[in-house]
């Protein structure tokens, strides 16, 4: 069967195989989710309480001076009475308690879905930042290669790099040899200071060389990228702390972020989404259970307005009379046992009528809130679909722009080497390429987050 938005686990977890593990850790460790589940378990214990019959009542009375009766003296009375509610009252009470327990369970599901959404959102934030880091590092490598080409170009008027001092050329090549990827990016922060110092020293030595202003401009761009990389590394570490807090584990726990970050495929189907939403959304189910609970409470109050029936026994302890006092019979000293029957008479009807009217109004109020919530969720679903369509077009546009910018950059570099273009055009295209790449990462992260929002509206019912 086609799942809503074609959102399967394989599609979701294509980002990383560890995301499923993080979701399981969050469900097991999150204290808010644990609290709601314990509240649900506690509500289940109310069901047998609601169906229990009232406690039996035992009355005991002792005569300080035995009461003389025929054939003995009455010493004490023991009365045991058991009351029973009207027929069907216990079953109705259990039904109300069961609906209340179901409401607690839907509250637990709502908390779980919100937790899933937070984990997904934070995960996509981390993936977006990681992709930005990779893009900045890749563009830094482009600048380092461009710097080497610029040095070779201006090493000699004829373009022969051999006539240019070899020491300066090696200084410009050093950053490229020390470039690292995202997995070893922490090491780049520790070496960026030394690179900047080395580059600053080389600037002063090259300032008197004709044409080396182009090389200095490249170095300025590289320094800016190094600062962006350091900022991104700091931001990633901060977002990892927030991610670990959702999982309720130490803030310094390792979070494995994948290098690949793709758009989640999906197929929008609004009619199917609305059907699934009405069947699975925990807020809608909770309001429906609340309505059924008020109806059961209304029926319970009606049955409570009927008489309660009671049966019991009275046992009287009789002391035997001495035969010498007065004539006795064969029942002398025989204890008495008397069956009893009682009925409660609910005379004051206004109280019960008011209770039934109260629950009827609450039932109607719950129905109105159900309709209001359904309308709001449907509107939110349409809004998400609109935003997803815009985001998909934006991602497609940025993909085309990135490809064109990459091709243009490669051509501009070739023209720069042959002297047909100046460095300003090359750097401008390089900046455009980086801008497109960063915007694409942001758009994909936003798109995937909105898909998770859509899935939360329907409920993460398919995730185990």
Model confidence pLDDT, tens digit, residues 92-149: 999 999 999 999 999 999 999 999 999 999 999 999 999 999 999 999 998 888 888 8
Per-residue confidence (pLDDT) for residue 19, from 0 to 100: 85
Per-residue confidence (pLDDT) for residue 199, from 0 to 100: 53
Per-residue confidence (pLDDT) for residue 203, from 0 to 100: 46
Mean pLDDT value across residues 262-283: 87
CA-CA-CA-CA dihedral for 2, 122, 454, 26, to nearest 10: 70
Q: What are phi and psi of 156, to 5 degrees?
A: -150, 145
Mean pLDDT value across residues 210-222: 79
Mean pLDDT value across residues 281-308: 94
In this prediction the pTM is: 0.77
What is the rounded radius of gyration, in angstroms, for the C-alpha atoms of the chain?
A: 40
Per-residue confidence (pLDDT) for residue 326, from 0 to 100: 62
Identify which has the larger pLDDT, 216 or 235. Answer: 235
Query: What is the band of 11 on the pLDDT scale with cuts at 50, 70, 90?
Result: very low
Mean pLDDT value across residues 349-378: 93
Closest CA to 75 of 88, 55, 87, 61: 61
Closest CA to 232 of 188, 196, 199, 262: 188
The dihedral region occupied by 5, where left means phi > 0, alpha psi between -120 and 50, and beta the remainder, is left
Q: How far apart are CA 215 and CA 64, in angstroms?
A: 116
Per-residue confidence (pLDDT) for residue 347, from 0 to 100: 87
Domains and CATH numbers, the chain: 4-52+85-308+344-458 (1.20.1600.10)
Question: In the β-sheet with 309-319, what is the strand arrangement from edge to edge?
Answer: 57-69, 72-84, 309-319, 336-343
Per-residue confidence (pLDDT) for residue 9, from 0 to 100: 39
Non-local (6+) Cβ contacts of 156 within 8 A are 162, 163, 164
Query: What is the band of 432 on the pLDDT scale with cuts at 50, 70, 90?
Result: very high
In order of 133, 244, 268, 348, 358, the CA distances from 89 in angstroms are: 66, 50, 48, 19, 19
- Beta strand 336-343 with 72-84: parallel, antiparallel or unpaired? unpaired
CA-CA-CA-CA dihedral for 252, 256, 260, 266, to nearest 10: -100
Q: Which residue has the tokens 């195989």?
A: 17
Indicate if the pLDDT at residue 191 is higher than 70: no
CA-CA-CA-CA dihedral for 112, 113, 114, 116, to nearest 10: 90
Query: What is the band of 161 on the pLDDT scale with cuts at 50, 70, 90?
Result: very low
The dihedral region occupied by 71, where left means phi > 0, alpha psi between -120 and 50, and beta the remainder, is left
Per-residue confidence (pLDDT) for residue 179, from 0 to 100: 36
Indicate if the pLDDT at residue 238 is higher than 70: yes
Query: What is the band of 65 on the pLDDT scale with cuts at 50, 70, 90?
Result: confident
Return the percentage of the chain with pLDDT > 70, whole number: 81
Query: What is the band of 334 on the pLDDT scale with cuts at 50, 70, 90?
Result: confident
- Beta strand 57-69 with 309-319: parallel, antiparallel or unpaired? unpaired
From first CA to last CA, the distance across the chain in angstroms is: 18
Non-local (6+) Cβ contacts of 228 within 8 A are 136
Q: How far apart are CA 37 and CA 28, in angstroms?
A: 11
Identify which has the larger pLDDT, 350 or 177. Answer: 350
Q: How far apart are CA 402 and CA 256, in angstroms?
A: 27
User: Within 10 A of 83 (CB to CB), how many other CB atoms are there?
Assistant: 17
Region of poorest pLDDT, from 130-144, 203-217, 225-239, 320-334? 203-217
Exposed e or buried b for every residue in 331-367, given b needs 16+ CB within 10 A?
Answer: ebeeeeeeeeeeeeeeeeeeebeebbeebeebbeebe
């Amino acid at each position: 069967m086609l799942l809503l938005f074609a959102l399967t686990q394989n599609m979701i977890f294509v980002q990383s195989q560890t995301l499923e593990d993080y979701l399981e850790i969050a469900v097991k460790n999150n204290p808010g989710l644990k609290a709601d589940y314990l509240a649900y378990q506690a509500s289940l214990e109310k069901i047998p309480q609601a169906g229990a019959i009232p406690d039996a009542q035992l009355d005991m009375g002792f005569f300080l001076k035995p009461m003389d009766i025929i054939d003995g003296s009455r010493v004490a009375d023991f009365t045991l009475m058991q009351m029973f509610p009207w027929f069907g009252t216990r079953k109705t009470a259990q039904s109300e308690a069961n609906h209340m327990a179901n409401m607690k369970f839907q509250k637990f599901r709502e908390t779980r879905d919100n937790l899933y959404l937070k984990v997904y959102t934070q995960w996509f934030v981390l993936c977006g930042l990681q992709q930005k880091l990779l893009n900045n590092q890749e563009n830094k490598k482009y600048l380092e290669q461009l710097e080497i080409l610029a040095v070779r170009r201006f090493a000699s008027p004829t373009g022969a790099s051999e006539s240019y001092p070899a020491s300066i050329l090696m200084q410009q090549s050093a950053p490229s040899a020390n470039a690292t990827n995202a997995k070893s990016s922490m090491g780049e922060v520790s070496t960026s200071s030394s690179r900047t110092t080395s580059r600053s020293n080389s600037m002063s030595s090259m300032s008197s060389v004709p044409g080396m202003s182009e090389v200095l401009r490249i170095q300025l761009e590289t320094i800016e990228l190094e600062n962006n990389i350091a900022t991104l590394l700091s931001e990633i570490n901060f977002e990892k702390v927030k991610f670990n807090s959702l999982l309720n584990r130490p803030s310094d726990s390792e979070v494995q972020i994948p290098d690949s970050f793709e758009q989640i495929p999906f197929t929008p189907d609004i009619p199917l989404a609305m059907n699934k939403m009405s069947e699975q959304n925990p807020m809608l189910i909770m309001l429906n259970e609340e309505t059924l609970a008020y109806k059961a409470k209304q029926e319970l109050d009606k049955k409570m307005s009927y008489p309660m029936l009671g049966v019991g026994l009275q046992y009287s302890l009789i002391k035997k009379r001495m035969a010498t006092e007065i004539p006795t019979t064969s029942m002398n000293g025989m204890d008495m046992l008397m069956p009893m029957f009682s009925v409660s008479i609910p005379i004051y009807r206004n109280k019960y009528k008011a209770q039934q009217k109260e629950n009827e109004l609450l039932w109607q109020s719950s129905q109105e809130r159900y309709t209001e919530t359904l309308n709001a969720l449907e509107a939110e679903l349409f809004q998400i679909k609109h935003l997803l369509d815009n985001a998909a077009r934006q991602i497609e546009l940025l993909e085309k722009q990135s490809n064109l910018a990459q091709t243009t950059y490669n051509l501009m570099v070739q023209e720069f080497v042959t002297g047909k273009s100046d460095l300003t055009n090359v750097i401008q295209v390089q900046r455009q390429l980086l801008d497109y790449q960063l915007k694409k990462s942001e758009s994909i992260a936003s798109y995937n987050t909105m898909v998770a929002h859509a899935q939360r509206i329907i409920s993460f019912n398919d995730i185990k």
